[in-house]
Structure 1
Amino acid sequence: MPAIETVPNRVVAAVRRSFRQFLALPLATIVGFVGLNALVYLADRSWSGGAAPTGFRWLGALLGDRAALGGLLTTVASSIITVTSITFSLLLIAVQQGAASLTAQVTDQFMARRTNQFYFGYFVGLSVFVLMTLVTNTEFHRPVFGTSLALVMTTFALCLVIVMLYNTIDQMRPERIVQFIHAQILEARADDERLLARTRRTPRPGWDVRAVVRATERGYVVGLDADRIQAAIARAAPDAVEVRMRVPVGTFRALGDPLFDIRARPGFVLEAEAREAVEAACGRALTFDDGRDLGHDAGYGLHQLATIAWTSVSTAKSNPSPGRVVLLALRDIVARWSPGEVDPPEALGAHVILADHAPTAATDALEAVIVVASESIQCQTLAEAMDSLAILLGHVAAPTADRLAGIAQRSLSALGEHVLTRELEAALDGLAAAIAGIK
């Protein structure tokens, strides 16, 4: 197996993922508070030497001398730090309870929300602002404006605690969690479509596999630079070589697992040097990481929805409500993606072949909910699933409809132990009529 240079470094990739998923906004907010403190420090220089800015003498008299400012800032700093620590502890407990009732996927959606990122950044940034203002309180510098601003922002922070607690509790509801993941899946799908638009869906018939590129490290494949491979093939053999990626982005690969097939036109002699150049480009085009990103990996979002439904619907929890919410989200996703299967985006002249696995993963997740509903004998969830199949079969495109019809046929074996309730009977009648309508 040839050695392949892989970039970026795993530590760098982890840092980038951390900033992309959570750290960017909180740190930017903290930096904003530091910059604000610097500006306020310059404004407070007008109070040096006992002078007072025109029109603000009353403010200096209200806040008092250096000793009064120091005592006030010390009280504010200790209070805001105490409130921050207690509030964050309560938030983490609420998140933990939500994760225990559903799955660990709750943590991902909690961190990915911009409002939560702002809350963390605001409280920590405010604490830094107050401490920096306290440090500048000296014999030569009276931070009157800084203290006033600290009081205003602390008052706002205390009011914000109520909003933050409500938002956190609201975010732990299964409906909110599924809605957020659903929105992230649709956003990530836009990234998929941009990549698909630069590649082809099917390999050229009759071309031979000349080499297999294997993984030289373990981890999730989180990125593909198709243009790098295109450029390498254009230099080596532009009209006689193509590369087919065996796995979708988001798949875990162990050391030595196959990644790409290098295919060539029959009768074309692929020189060793050209083949090695294409292999090296394939290795450099991939980005490996230890985790997946919900915001850029639609398959990961579908996996999270299926996991939430499986955990809640199974006999481990026996809670049909989250499962039904997941089914509604999956039905919307399948309906949105079905037209793209008829006319998939692709570049006909591209040399990279990448199959579109996301629509199939969506219907597979729907099938998984049916399986777990049969395990827990939840007639409500099964009826909702059958009703979803019937509704989708009434308007989705042929490739999607064929898979859904196959799911319906395979699901018949799950009905043996179910009581034929009115709701389930009506859903099955609707499904039978939908299947008859597509034949």
Structure 2
Amino acid sequence: MKTKIYYWWQEMRSSFWFVPAMIVLDAVVLAAVLIGVDATVDLHIVERWPLIFGAGAAGARGLLTTVASSMITVAGVVFSITIVALALTSSQYTSRVLRNFMRDPINQVVLGVFVGIFAYCLVVLRTIRGGDEGAFVPSLAVLVGLILAFVGIAFLIYFIHHISMSIQASSILAAAAQDTINAVDHLFPNMLSKNADEEADGHRAIFLAEHTWTAIPAQKTGYIENVGLDALLALARERGIILRMERGIGEFVVEDTPLISVAGSGELDEQMTDELNALYVISRQRLVEQDVAFGIRQIVDIALKALSPGINDTTTAVMCVDYLTAILVRLSVRRIVTSLRLDKGELRVIARGPSFESLLAEAFDQIRQNAEANVAVLTRLLQALETIAGQTTNTRRRRALSQQADLIASAARRTISTPHDMTDIDISLTRLSHILGGHFQEHVSRMNGTESID
């Protein structure tokens, strides 16, 4: 249930209707309260300040009608600008970041403010009566309507500024990187101890091959957005079974294909199949909140679009590498949760999740493959590895960085033929070799045309 509620809340945050609907509801309540105050309380201040509060029924109707028509028109303009920004972002960068725009609270609030002011004016308008009908003009409510009109103007000016800033590459990358870093802090809160090697725990699961596994099929096709791991552990404890995830968060699963396997349960009934499927949230898209790899994928896709022949924007690709570096630096010092879940020392769940190596490959492999002969990007990739290597002493992670550096150096040697263009890359390789050491030094020696003295 907790997983479902979290999924529902994320869907609400990413919608263009939830926040505006709440603002419209608040505006209607505000109008009703102010009308009630005008109807029940004798406000002498209205008589003392006629220039501010004084207005006949016709004048009040005219004012609120003008405000209402203006606000609904501006709401249409705001919606149109937002759609244009979404289309531009999708074509210029990647469609993967559209959800970030839709989740932007400023875009949602601005749209809600204009629609809310429109709804407020409608509610107040219907209560205004002329002399023949028994005169009633809610002066306080009309004044607040005028104030809300000026508030709407301020929101319109700010929205134009905000949307012009938010479609810039730097803003898009910064927002995607910050969301990913927040996910890292949430999913991997524990710091990596100096001599820890959390991935090694996974090798202890080899002995489980002797078990007889029964696959539980997925009941839905889509991407796995979330999994209730605590609920999986509780179910495994209750049934006395071992569960092995066949698909992890962010992976695509097809209906009637294995989703999770069970050992030690004997006969599996339909109830268990339903219970296990209920612990998974499967949808049409991935969410960065539970899927760090998807946050990295968003930035990588922008880099690939920038490196494409049709755009050829090296500067944006370099910026992508910079923000990926910030994410990987944060990951390099965090303990990525082991795949094994124990209950009082007894194995219950074999989870499926990311490792530092897989996230490093996700970040750099495709950029390296598409940046061949691009000196600026290859150099920045090596500089990124240098920054990351300086933050971790973990042997396994430093080995992964060394392998990535070898691949980048090989791509540079294969595609860059001018010695002058290789200068910066050679310098970066030399600096990196001093940090990583080991077998990478031999590769640097070959790149420089000398033999290793080790």
> If the length of structure 1 is used for normalisation, what is the TM-score?
0.84
Letter in 2 for 1:429: T
Q: Which residue, 2, 15, 27 being the options, matches 2:21?
A: 27
Q: Which residue, 368, 387, 391 being the options, matches 2:387?
A: 391
Match of 1:3 in 2: none
Query: 1:308: how far off?
Result: 0.8
Matched, 1:160 2:132: no
Q: What whole-Å deviation, never above 9, does each CA across 1:82-140 have from its counterpart, x for those lacking one?
A: 22222332343234223322122342221122222211211211111122222222244
Match of 1:424 in 2: 425
Please give the residue correspondences for 1:38-187 in structure 2 after superposition, counting only pairs within 5 Å. Answer: 38-46=32-40, 53-60=43-50, 62=52, 63-139=54-130, 140=134, 141-187=136-182
Query: 1:177: how far off?
Result: 0.8
Work out whether residues 342 and 398 of structure 1, in 8 Å CA contact, stay in contact via their aligned partners in 2: no
Work out whether residues 382 and 408 of structure 2, in 8 Å CA contact, stay in contact via their aligned partners in 1: no
Query: 1:319: how far off?
Result: 0.5
Query: 1:437: how far off?
Result: 5.6
Match of 1:362 in 2: 359
Match of 2:303 in 1: 309
Matched, 1:188 2:183: yes
> If the length of structure 2 is used for normalisation, what is the TM-score?
0.81
Work out whether residues 95 and 106 of structure 1, in 8 Å CA contact, stay in contact via their aligned partners in 2: no
Match of 2:232 in 1: 229
Matched, 1:18 2:11: yes
Work out whether residues 184 and 301 of structure 1, in 8 Å CA contact, stay in contact via their aligned partners in 2: yes
Match of 1:267 in 2: none
Query: 1:309: how far off?
Result: 0.9
Match of 1:214 in 2: 217
Distance 2:436 2:125 in 1: 73
Work out whether residues 233 and 341 of structure 2, in 8 Å CA contact, stay in contact via their aligned partners in 1: no
Pair 66,167 (structure 1): closer, same or farther in 2 beyond 3 Å: same
Letter in 2 for 1:394: G
Report how many aligned residue pairs link the two structures: 411
Pair 120,174 (structure 1): closer, same or farther in 2 beyond 3 Å: same
Q: What whole-Å deviation, never above 9, does each CA across 1:279-331 have from its counterpart, x for those lacking one?
A: 44322211211222234432221111111111112223111122222212211
Match of 1:403 in 2: 400
Pair 221,154 (structure 1): closer, same or farther in 2 beyond 3 Å: same
Match of 1:433 in 2: 434
Distance 1:132 1:295 in 2: 40
Q: What whole-Å deviation, never above 9, does each CA across 1:117-169 have from its counterpart, x for those lacking one?
A: 21121121111112222222224431211111111111121122121111111
Distance 1:318 1:217 in 2: 40
Unaligned runs of 5+ in 1: 1-6, 265-269
Question: RMSD value over aligned CA atoms?
Answer: 2.9
- Percent pairwise identity: 19
Distance 1:145 1:291 in 2: 48
Work out whether residues 78 and 111 of structure 2, in 8 Å CA contact, stay in contact via their aligned partners in 1: no
Match of 1:299 in 2: 293
Query: Secondary structure, in 3 states, of the residue corresponding to 1:351?
Result: strand
Q: What whole-Å deviation, never above 9, does each CA across 1:402-421 have from its counterpart, x for those lacking one?
A: 22212222233322222425
Work out whether residues 91 and 165 of structure 1, in 8 Å CA contact, stay in contact via their aligned partners in 2: no
Unaligned runs of 5+ in 2: 191-199, 441-454
Match of 2:444 in 1: none
Distance 2:408 2:212 in 1: 38
Query: Secondary structure, in 3 states, of the residue corresponding to 1:348?
Result: strand
Work out whether residues 226 and 290 of structure 2, in 8 Å CA contact, stay in contact via their aligned partners in 1: no
Work out whether residues 321 and 380 of structure 2, in 8 Å CA contact, stay in contact via their aligned partners in 1: yes
Distance 2:282 2:437 in 1: 46
Work out whether residues 95 and 107 of structure 1, in 8 Å CA contact, stay in contact via their aligned partners in 2: yes
Q: What whole-Å deviation, never above 9, does each CA across 1:157-208 have from its counterpart, x for those lacking one?
A: 112212111111111111111111111112233453489xxxx963644221
Letter in 1 for 2:356: P
Q: What whole-Å deviation, never above 9, does each CA across 1:199-251 have from its counterpart, x for those lacking one?
A: x96364422142122212211111212233333322322xxx31111222121
Work out whether residues 201 and 355 of structure 1, in 8 Å CA contact, stay in contact via their aligned partners in 2: no
Query: 1:363: how far off?
Result: 0.7
Work out whether residues 130 and 150 of structure 1, in 8 Å CA contact, stay in contact via their aligned partners in 2: yes
